[in-house]
Amino acid sequence: MRAFILCFILLISVMFPIGTAEANSEQFIIINKSTNKLAFFQNGELEKIYPVGTGKTDDLTPEGTFEIVNKIKNRPYYTDNIPGGDPRNPLGDRWLGLNARGTYGTTYAIHGNNNPSSIGKYVSAGCVRMHNDDVHELFEKVNKYTKVIILKSSRSFEEIAKAHGYSLLPEIEVTINGKKQSYSQAPFIRNGRIFVPMRGIFEELGATVSWKASTRTITATNHNTTLQMTVGSKRMVLNGKEVTIDSAPEIRNGQTFVPVRVVSDALGASITWDQVNRHVTITGKVEPKPETPKEPEPVKAKVIINGKEQEFTQDPIIINGVTMVPMRGVFTSLGATVVWNQAAQTVTARKNDTVIELKVDSTIAKLNGVDIQLDQPLKNINGHTVVPIRFVSEALGARVSWDQATRTVEILE
């Protein structure tokens, strides 16, 4: 009798496998229909994100919590009698069946496809499509009875995972030259590579970072080092030399992340990783940034033209010891007309037969077509152009004097 009961139990277990026996709580899959992305979590971390295709209409791909209940290679496409493994098979050659809507892995699944251009779109009759290379990779990693969440959400995959009870590892911390860093988006591990927020780390090490949205290109400069990378590309240009990196930069929640090894390769920093405490330590030389030029020294001064004290919205200023006066006010008071070209950043003044041309930040002015060297370039200060007082004399033949004691500019024709 005991032998009969034992055989009966074994038979039942073979016919109806108990899911919890193979369940792996360390694995977790989220499919977000809002973005058509699939996230695969393993051992408490978001390991990889894949693009997917989902249902043509919102109701076709079921939403909820499911499990992967079977894994099939080369599943035939019974509808059109296409054998498994056939390049024409719209299911590809890997099938991860889900226990959805009363079916047990026979109707709904994560699978490959025979139309790569459909990935990322709303195209299927209810299944979740992946690129064949991606589903091959996932098929080898994922275990049966792994939980799969399908939903529409604007939240991050980590936030969704936490909300559904998945236990994530603590965030990775970064210390640079003994100083603990704080980022709005934490570093993460993807395919065994540690990714760090590029701008925050590079700037902390003294580099300047710029972003070109049209080409999704990041450029970092640090004195003698110039680094250029493109999101999604493993090609890096370092001081004009092309280098291949093991993982491409990627954008996560609006921020660019790069493999931490790039910090070492580009800036010569030393990187250590404490896996137990999930702590990245970066030690590198911080090159001092060039000092920001000091603002011109403001001067409270009077301007007297032909014996009459003038009032201008821009006071004279001193730049490198040269007294600069507001050009429009002074030239207009002396009978000249002044025209400002915003696009070209140029000023043209005319008085009788005299034509004067100047350009912002240029030390060369033209007087009736002849170049004149300025003591200081024309400057645009608070929306007003200022010129060296000596130029007023050279351009319009006026006598100019500066009284340091009384801080007075006097101009006489």
Closest CA to 192 of 113, 79, 112, 273: 273
pLDDT of residue 299: 64
- Alpha helix (H) residue ranges in 193-267: 198-204, 260-267
Give the Cα separation of 160 and 282 in Å (integer): 31
Task: Name the token pair of 194.
Answer: 């540690």
Instruction: Give the N- to C-terminal CA distance of the chain in Å, as an integer.
Output: 128
- Compute how many other C-beta atoms are within 10 angstroms of the C-beta atom of residue 92: 25
* Catalytic (active site) residue 7: no
Reported pTM: 0.54
Phi, psi values for residue 101, rounded to 5°? 50, 45
- Compute how many other C-beta atoms are within 10 angstroms of the C-beta atom of residue 313: 10
DSSP state of 79: G
Of 127, 131, 164, 279, which is the active-site residue?
A: 127
CATH fold match for the domains 173-283 and 297-412: yes
Task: Name the token pair of 123.
Answer: 């195209």
* Catalytic (active site) residue 279: no
**For the chain, percent helix, then strand, then coil, each to nearest 5?**
15, 40, 40
Residue corresponding to tokens 């093991």? 246
pLDDT of residue 24: 44
- Mean pLDDT per block of 10 residues along the chain (413 residues) reads 39 36 69 96 89 96 97 93 92 96 96 94 96 96 97 92 93 92 84 86 87 87 86 90 89 83 82 91 75 61 82 76 80 85 85 86 84 80 80 79 81 81
- Assess contact for 154 and 70: CB atoms under 8 A: no
Task: Domain 173-283: give its CATH architecture.
Answer: 2-Layer Sandwich (3.30)
DSSP labels for 33-66?
TTTTEEEEEETTEEEEEEE-BEESSTTTS--EEE
Closest CA to 179 of 92, 281, 275, 63: 281
- Assess contact for 347 and 355: CB atoms under 8 A: no
pLDDT of residue 222: 81
- Assess contact for 399 and 305: CB atoms under 8 A: no
| Domain coordinates in residue numbering, the chain | 19-163, 173-283, 297-412
Task: Name the token pair of 311.
Answer: 């009032």
The contacts found for 273-276 with CB under 8 angstroms, 24 or more apart, are 273/194
Give the Cα separation of 171 and 173 in Å (integer): 6
Counting runs of H as helices and runs of E as strands, what totals does the chain give? Answer: 7, 37
Of 7, 111, 279, 384, which is the active-site residue?
A: 111
Radius of gyration over every alpha carbon of the chain, rounded to an integer in angstroms: 35
Give the Cα separation of 161 and 173 in Å (integer): 20
Considering only the top CATH level, what class is 297-412?
alpha beta
Residue corresponding to tokens 């009875």? 145
Task: Domain 19-163: give its CATH architecture.
Answer: Beta Barrel (2.40)
